[in-house]
Structure 1
């Protein structure tokens, strides 16, 4: 997905329209018109006259509208190394896969879909770490891209310095151009334009399935009623849909919700290397409505002899800037003390989640009579768990990978090292927190996706004894 942006005066813009009549759209009221080159075609910026609801999953506040275009990352597919592919396919027993190009599929949530700052769009899909891995492997990898003229998908948001509340949450402006939104109903539910492709390899949804508090986050947790699910699955159950596909290799990124708890976790039982009797029906993440669906999915995958893959664990919330940095417990306590309201925050709270009411509470521009909690005496929600990595979850996920005969990527460790600024790329570039994390404090930047892709390639190479080339990290320092 090659995409360039350049900004032209209004007179030049109208001249360029004649190059591609099918893309002629109604004039906008912008001083400068913007154009994008996507796959060699000129696509005109199109203002979509619809009211965009607050983006589910965006950690921050939407404070206005903007125009969003994207730069060309010059992504190219490597020449396929036959020795690499042969090693990954050599044990496959399915006759329908023998003699065919290697196919990799991905299951997971927002991280594997490339969602950044709440945006599910073509650029973020193209720079997602699964796509970057596929390019390095030299294989065809089909993403659920939107039409070129709808490249902004939905939820695309850009950071702004405008801060009317004066609070610590980042503020964003929502893109209103070149969206893939077909309609929005009276309740703000989005319907996306239909997917026109015939094959999907990246089945990741735009879901932050690890959080269960939509009343605080503004709806970070998604379910199967969300627009991407409807667009790609048409109400078909997630696991059933993916299992219809024939594939040789899988990246299971669904653990970015709860894979660490996938094992036998009813009562005091934990995963001990065997899921054959597992039937735990507790609620799960967005792609698997309950844990047992995911467990049963993996059991079905395990039946596919010779299939190889990767399993990722879950980043520790206490090492996400959105949780560890946006609202410091001590700062909130000081604010409450001004109003003699310290009792609204329990003494054993270790860290606070980035919900919007806290931004108003801490906002220096918000009048005391309008501050949440102060006027309502509502208890402030937070976590009593220390901001440490979950060793039990980490151990379970490693055991799960061993049970599946899959490689294991410790993404939790990657995130912790990025947060503590002791992360180095495979080509020895020191990665700062700001380089790895996007402005929302949760999703990785494009460079962050490159780091995750290279760390995955390193694990795949070591586990399967192959030599997929690494991505040149410095190509993304722009």
Structure 2
């Protein structure tokens, strides 16, 4: 088995990657049920907290506050570029945290040449370099796609195109350059799908995973104008977005967590102006969320098409998340999946990525899709065993 993807397939939880989270990544759970020993780039037991992660302070406060786990980390001491300790063994799970697989063709020189600050995430780079021999910061020969092509052709490929591109675009206040667009030519030649098509031609089976509606994630609902008005009726909030006129905030605007919003909700301020990186504007002149809510075209035009063309199973993560977020999903072993934040069981403390239980739910849906496509009889997980005690 080989795994291609971003944060979800890598196992990111609570805003970071660490050993316990890696072990419950859905590709690993799927592999276990298939009787496959998936080689993961696990952080060792001395550095089990990996990149570190955050824990929500559950004090019923007016803002969401966190403590950061900073012990037993896997960073190289005194590293100037947040380098992680190298992983030198073989790896099957090549998913990279905070990586947009649609950028698979971009090399290190591309990222080194970006004007900073950039809305394009570079947070994946330490995780990628951890798997590679030493490379220069401006290396122009190494990219994710070339790295994938250097691997042995797998019998089974998990191909998660990743919601990281959509997510990153929304987190920075709407950056359309991070969103997919139709391209000329054969859809199978699109950069992020080229590897899947090449692998399938060599006889591999597998599963492709589509993208959910990231606007449904709790992160984008942590702070709302309705809640602010109930806490502080006299507070003024103005939106100065990239599109549309300067105006008072409305109930449809997506308020992004940050210093200004937290100042209002904590009572430290009663008047703030949100710039283009601090809000997703939604009104009659401008809707900065539409590119995320209309992801169905990408899922249909690209992901479903590529899966069917190559006889791959398809995990419809979009529909799964819609059902989970509506509160109507019960697992096969009878557990109600609770999407509420912060006290539900599906989302981890970062309000974006799933808990270990959430990963088990996704793994079971993978199993169902694979069984349906190939007529296999892979047993389902007991999801209840992944609930936090």
Shorter-normalised TM-score: what interval?
0.7 to 0.9
1:100-123: CA deviation from partner (whole Å, max 9, x where unpaired):
xxxx11011111111101121111
**Quick one: distance in 2 between partners of 1:432 and 1:312?**
22
When normalised by structure 1's length, the TM-score is 0.63
Structure 1 equivalent of residue 327 of structure 2: 421
Q: CA deviation at 1:297?
A: 2.5
1:57-76: CA deviation from partner (whole Å, max 9, x where unpaired):
xxxxxxxxxxxxxxxxxxxx
> Which of 390, 398, 411 is matched with 2:317 structurally?
411
**Quick one: distance in 2 between partners of 1:401 and 1:353?**
36
**Quick one: distance in 1 between partners of 2:368 and 2:223?**
35
**Quick one: distance in 2 between partners of 1:432 and 1:114?**
19
Judge conservation of contact 1:144–1:202 (CA < 8 Å) in 2: yes
The residue matched to 1:424 in structure 2 has which SS? coil
Is 2:96 the partner of 1:205? yes
1:301-340: CA deviation from partner (whole Å, max 9, x where unpaired):
2331x211111111101211111x2122444577897355
Judge conservation of contact 2:19–2:49 (CA < 8 Å) in 1: yes
In the TM superposition, 1:214-225 aligns within 5 A as: 222-223=121-122
**Quick one: distance in 1 between partners of 2:296 and 2:248?**
26
Structure 2 equivalent of residue 171 of structure 1: 65
Distance 1:128 1:141, change over 3 A: same
Judge conservation of contact 2:8–2:25 (CA < 8 Å) in 1: yes
The residue matched to 2:366 in structure 1 has which SS? helix
1:406-427: CA deviation from partner (whole Å, max 9, x where unpaired):
1111111221222111111122
**Quick one: distance in 2 between partners of 1:336 and 1:392?**
40
**Quick one: distance in 2 between partners of 1:210 and 1:367?**
40
Give unmatched runs, 5+ long, in structure 2: 104-116, 136-141, 167-177, 241-246, 282-286
Larger-gyration structure (1/2):
1
In the TM superposition, 1:48-447 aligns within 5 A as: 104-161=1-58, 167-168=62-63, 170-185=64-79, 189-197=81-89, 199-207=90-98, 209=100, 222-223=121-122, 226-234=125-133, 235=135, 236-246=142-152, 247-257=154-164, 265-266=182-183, 274-275=186-187, 278=189, 292-304=190-202, 306-323=203-220, 325-331=221-227, 338-342=234-238, 344=240, 350-352=252-254, 354-368=256-270, 372-373=272-273, 378=275, 380-383=278-281, 384=287, 385=289, 388=293, 390-396=295-301, 397-433=303-339, 434-447=344-357
Judge conservation of contact 1:122–1:145 (CA < 8 Å) in 2: yes
Give unmatched runs, 5+ long, in structure 1: 1-103, 213-217, 279-291
**Quick one: distance in 1 between partners of 2:223 and 2:34?**
41
**Quick one: distance in 2 between partners of 1:154 and 1:124?**
11
When normalised by structure 2's length, the TM-score is 0.76
**Quick one: distance in 1 between partners of 2:364 and 2:2?**
18
Q: CA deviation at 1:350?
A: 3.3
Distance 1:448 1:340, change over 3 A: closer
**Quick one: distance in 2 between partners of 1:408 and 1:459?**
6
**Quick one: distance in 1 between partners of 2:149 and 2:380?**
30
**Quick one: distance in 2 between partners of 1:475 and 1:177?**
27
1:69-110: CA deviation from partner (whole Å, max 9, x where unpaired):
xxxxxxxxxxxxxxxxxxxxxxxxxxxxxxxxxxx1101111
**Quick one: distance in 2 between partners of 1:158 and 1:143?**
24
Aligned residues: 337
